[in-house]
Amino acid sequence: EVQLVESGGGLVQPGRSLKLSCVASGFTFSNYGMNWIRQAPGKGLEWVAYISSGSSYIYYAETVKGRFTISRDNAKNTLYLQMTSLRSEDTALYYCARRQYYGPVMDAWGQGASVTVSS
C-alpha cells in the first residue's frame, strides 16, 4: 500500500524557518517525481514545489521561490521542504504528493502537515 507520511509542522513566528519531511513507503520512491501542495484553512489547493526522481528538475511556485527549498533523499525514502522567511500567508496544510509514473498528475497524497505562521 502506498503511504506518504508528513511531519515537521507546527506553530512558527513570522520570519522564522521550518522543515517538513515526508516519508514514503509501499512503492519505489526513487522512481517517482514528488510535489508539495498546500491548502490554506478553508481554501483551495496551491501547488508549491516539484522535484524529479533524481533531483535533476526542481520547480517552485512564484509565491515561495527564493524562500522554500525542496529536496529528497532516495536512500531514506524521504522528501523535504525547507521553509525560510515564513509569512502569515504560508499558513496551510502542506501535503506531499506523488507524481504519476507515466504522467504529470498527483496520484497519491499524504495526510498533510499543518503549518501556522503567527506571532
Partner 1 sequence: DIQMTQSPASLSASLGETVTIECRASEDIYSNLAWYQQKPGNSPQLLIYDANSLADGVPSRFSGSGSGTQYSLKINSLQSEDVASYFCQQYNNYPPWTFGGGTKLELK
Footprint on this chain of partner 1 (rule: CB under 8 A): 35, 44-47, 50, 59-62, 95, 97, 100, 103-112
Please identify, using beta-carbon distances, which residue of 83 and 98 lies nearer to partner 1.
98
Q: Supply the DSSP string of the chain, one letter for each residue.
A: --EEEEE--EEE-TT--EEEEEEEESS-GGGS-EEEEEE-TT--EEEEEEE-TTS--EEE-TTTTTTEEEEEETTTTEEEEEE-S--GGG-EEEEEEEEPTTSSSEEEE---EEEEE--
CB 111 to partner 1: min, Å = 6
Please identify, using beta-carbon distances, which residue of 89 and 107 lies nearer to partner 1.
107
CB 75 to partner 1: min, Å = 26
